[in-house]
Each structure stands twice: as C-alpha cells, then as structure tokens.
Chains A and B, each alone.
Chain A
Amino acid sequence: MDEINEGLSEVECDILVIGGGTAGPMAAYKARKKNPDAKVILLEKANVKRSGAISMGMDGLNNAVIPGHSTPEQYTKEITIANDGICDQAAVYKYAQNCYSIIEELDKFGIRFQKDENGEFDVKKVHHIGTYVLPMPNGDTVKKALYRQLRRARVLISNRFMATRLLTGKTGRIAGAISVNTRTGEFLVIKAKAVIMCTGAAGRLGLPTSGYLFGTYENPTNSGEGYTMAYHAGAKLANLECFQINPLIKDYNGPACAYVAGPLGGYTANANNERFIECDYWSGQMMQEFHNELVSGKGPVFLKLNHLHKDTADHIEEILHTVERPSRGLFHEGRNTKYSDKMIEMHISEIGFCSGHSASGVFVDDNALTTIPGLYAAGDMASVPHNYMLGAFTNGAIAGEHAVDYINDLDFDDFDQEEIVREKERVLAPTKREDGIPPNQIEFKIRRLVNDYLQPPKVTKKYELCQDRLAEIREDMEQNMVVRDSHELMRATETSSILDCADMAAFASLYRKESRWGLYHNRIDYPERDDDNWKCHVLLSKKDGNMVCEKRDIQPYIIPIAEEEKDMYDKQRVAVEA
C-alpha cells in the first residue's frame, strides 16, 4: 500500500455526490429514492462508515424546529438576528419547514431522539429566543443507520477517493470532477450531469493552540477542498470573513458546554466563578464576550458544573464522554479533572470556514444550487447560516431531490480533456522531485501564520503582511514540495487547499470594511457595524485567474425583523448589578 501508481480511469453517472459525512449520504439516498433509475455515486475521501463530523455520533440536534415547541417563522427570525441580518431567509425558512419531516425519517432509520414522559420530543432551550435543542440518547448509531440506508438504496460508494477539482463543461454547466485515490495515487475522473458537494467545513485552516496539526475542532479530513474546488470552478463563495471560532475545552479542543450542559444548569464562567454571558448559544457576539473575558484579567474561562448536584454533573459527564467525542473522558482522566469537583478550563478554537456553526460557505439558493448550473452544495460548506447537523441532513435532502429533477432529459456537458492533463500534472508535481520540503512542514507554516496574522481581532496591516508571507509559501509549495508515497500525496493536495483557504480568508476579510458578527469579523480599523454600506453579502470568486470580491444585496426578508429585535444578540453580557 501507499506506492504511487499513476493510472487514470473514467466513469459516468447521473449525480455525483462528493463527501459522505452527513449531508452527502442524505443527498445520495434521497436522489435514489426519488429516481431509482438514476446512477448515483457517493465519493468519499475516507470511508463512509465512519467519516465526517459525526463519525462516532452526535449528542443532539442543535436546531430542531418541532411543532409545539417553535415555528419556522420564529427560527428564521432568530437565525437572521444571530447572523446580524446577513441572511437570505428563503433557504433558512425552507430548512425550518422541512426539518421536522427529516427528524421523523431519521427516527424511522432507528436514530432515536429524547422524548419526555408523555412521549413528546423533549426539546431544550439554549438559544436566545426560541427552543430548538433535541438530545439524542443513542446518537452513537447515526452513521450505522445511515450506512444501512445507503446500502438498501444501492448508492454506489467509492471510498478513499479525494476530489481535487471540478470539471465545468463547454456550455458552463457542471460536467463532473477529478479525484485521486489516497492509497494508490490513481486518478478517477467522474463525468456527471449534476454534482452535489458535501465536503464539510474548512477545519484545518488555523492551528490549534496545542500545535498538533490534527487536534482541530473539526474532523481534520475536512481540509477545505469544497471551498477551493468551488473557487477554481468559478462559483461564488459567501461571507468567508464570517469565520468559525468556537469555545472549546482547552487543549482537547472538543465542544464543552452549551447544548448538553446548558439545559441541565451548566454554564460558562470566569476565574471568579461568575457567569458573564447570558446565552451560551454559539454566536460571534458570544465569542466576542468570551474573548473579552480572556483578555480582561478575569480569565481564563471555564465550563462550570461543580455547583450542580453530583448526580447531575456525573450525568452530563457521562453524555459528554460517550457519544460525540468519546475520548474526552480519557483526556480528563489524564488531567485528573472531574466535572463535579473542578471547573474545566476552556479556550478559543482555531479559525475555520463553516456555515454549520457560522456563515462562511459556497453561495447557494434555497434549492442548494450554487452559481454554476448543476452544481449543488449542502452542509457545513454551503452558505446557509448556523445549519448544523440537521441542516446538513435537510439541505442534503433538498439538493438530492432537486438534482433528480435537474438532470431529467439532460445529457453530459463536454469538457476540455486538457483540464485532466493539467490537474494530473498539478497534483503529481511533488512526486517528481527528489528532495524538497514535505507537506507537513508547509502546512504547519501556513497554519501558524494564519494564527499569527488572521486570528481576530483583525488588523489591516497584519492581514497585508500575511498575504505577502502566504505568497512566499505558495512559491515553496509549487516549486519545492516533495512527497514519497500516496498518503503524503493526499496531505500535499490538502496543503494546497489550506493555502487557498487562507488566501480567501485574508482577501474577504480585507474587503468588508466594517465589524460584524462579534469576534468572527472584528476589524480593529473599522470597529463599528456599518449597515448603510455593508448590510449585504460579500461574494468572493475567481475572475480571469484573480481573486475578486463583490457586494450582493440580501433578498427582501420573508419574516420581518422589528427594529427592537434586530440587536438582540448584541446583548450577551450579563448585566452588572448595581
């Protein structure tokens, strides 16, 4: 294994789904359900059985809109406010209207959700305004249940193929994708009438404070290819300056508190045991207060459970240590920390792109369509804000079903064969050198610079310096990167995605000359939110080989936001008592 073999083969399908984590399996499944004659390929860099953010399972649904507990209108309003008004509501509203039927379907797959003594869904309040959090006591079964459905629907699964570039056809439609096998270096070209990208967040952009390249919040398999493939194909990407930054358990770098511990009485506290944020729902405004506390002298910041009854604290510990990130227990064991007796130190995560938690993604409409005909995106990499796991499932389903209609009577679009030759050459270049710099060193340097210069608060001069340094690294990468086997070749190809994402993060941030979304886009040189000039999307794309940004109007709201409601997420700090 791992020798590099330069073969190339070509296959055809109706719908190609790239990424078999959360959104991808649902997209492929729904497409096959709707049209059992459609040939659907699910391409996955890892193995669909255990890939993506939910590889081991999930603790709960963070954003379930369940009749009797909340309404689609209320949810759409809350997300619009949480995202500081930058929201095309149609997609959020459609999600909110459809997600309940997806919950019912997941329930039928055998993924059970928490119910109360009356048999009703036991939904918890964590957000500022509405009630949307639904625990999943057997959340560890998610992947297995999905996999069963994929087999039943006879989706064609290709594991260990990493997509590297999209193919666009001569008429401007999507035509397929190029991928490389991560264990043999063999290329696979997939011609398709529609492509649905579900490659997750760009989780390997910043460097975790531990310095361990793979100790990220996101599953590090998600190195941002979705973003870079869309970019190089000419699609538009939205609001990339709205970074993902999360409050996490320090060093372990896994989620701590809000959704599991919050409803049971846990909260975020400072070193004086004081609560300082009103609402632990992850938002940029909340992260700004977290950051303020860290630098105020009252930090560090902790997850506080030791005021609760020991049984409650132990119960929370039990959930947190078994389902989503089950190695968390091991971590605390090593540190000798029990939730019932000590507060747990927290910290700010590395930056990334993600619309699952934030709003940075490939620009899509309410059918999950990007700006390229036939190219869809769903889940963390598509621009629907705060859409989390249920958003990945629901929007994946929307994409899969829409794509089935789209391909009806459509033929393959022709593409330029030269594109394949060029891509093969680009990817294999590091295998042609005798010596040079290995990808792990280049990756480390990029991500270290991202931390040094791009981590908010954002300073213009630092951003400009970063761009210069990244350009130097690009030269090293293109001229000197060397790999010895196909595994390193995968890392090398990921490194080029990471570098592209770092460039995009810097470029989009410099374009938006205001501050918005709390810490996510806190620009020291433009400290105020400027609704007159910047209450709009920023779309980044590639024109004539260069990165450009443009403003795009927000669609008129479907659900109006009253003047007194629009800043509700700004009031995060606990009021000081007189």
Chain B
Amino acid sequence: MPLVNNPTSVPVTVDEKKCIADKGCRVCVDVCPLDVLRINDLTNKAYMKYDECWYCMPCEADCPTDAVTVNIPYLLR
C-alpha cells in the first residue's frame, strides 16, 4: 500500500528575515522536546518539519532573535 502526504497546517512559524540559522544558529532545533524543527537545506532557515507539537514554547522562548511564533495547533484552537 503506497503512502501519500496529507496536508496539515503547522502551529509553529519562523520569520525568515529574523532567523539566523544561516549564521549557524540551531537553538530552536536543539531545545524542542518533540524534535520537530529542522533547518531548510535551500533557504538555510529553521522551519517546522513534523506536525507533532506540545505547544510548550521553548523554541519561541529561547530563540535569540525572536524569530519563532508558536500557535495553538488548529485541532485544539
């Protein structure tokens, strides 16, 4: 049985203008307990790769440039 990808609106967004992952920052990726953030290979900016979020906020609180915004996942909102 083949797999398909279902679209899902992710709760965490990153302001690419503020994110300094291209300068080596990995803070949000490092701290997330669910390990759902990654750096995009093309843009060199952080993004949410997996929709598995506890809306707990270390990513937002620890980002040095305030680039991360945590929203409540749509199903709970």
Interface residues of A (CB under 8 A from B): 1-2, 46-47, 49-52, 55-56, 160, 182-183, 210-216, 219-221, 251-253, 325-327, 330-331, 334-335, 435-438, 482, 487, 490-491
Contacts and interface: CB of A to CB of B under 8 A. Distances in A.
Interface string B18-57: 0000000000001111110010000000000110111111
B2 interface: yes
A251 B72 CA distance: 10
Contacts of B50: 487
Contact of B72 (A182, A327, A436, A438): A327
A39 to B, nearest CB: 25
Contacts of B58: 49-50, 55-56
B54 A435 contact: no
10 smallest CB-CB distances across A and B, nearest first, come from A50-B58, A46-B33, A50-B31, A212-B75, A327-B55, A210-B76, A251-B76, A210-B75, A214-B52, A221-B33
B1 A331 contact: no
B61 to A, nearest CB: 7
Using C-beta atoms within 8 Å of the partner chain, give the interface range for chain B. 20 to 34
B71 A330 contact: yes
Residue among A327, A335, A438 having the largest count of chain B Cβ atoms under 10 Å: A327
Contact of A212 (B3, B35, B49, B76): B76
B62 interface: yes
Name the prevailing secondary structure of the A interface residues.
Answer: loop
Interface of B: 1-3, 30-35, 38, 49-50, 52-58, 61-62, 70-73, 75-77
A56 B70 CA distance: 14
A50 B62 contact: yes
A1 B38 CA distance: 8
A487 B33 CA distance: 13
B7 to A, nearest CB: 15
Nearest to A252: B76
Contacts of B71: 330
Contacts of B75: 210-212, 215
Contacts of B32: 46-47, 50
A160 B31 CA distance: 10
Given A47-B32, A327-B57, 5 more contacts: A46-B35, A47-B33, A50-B62, A215-B55, A252-B72
Contacts of B77: 251, 331, 334-335
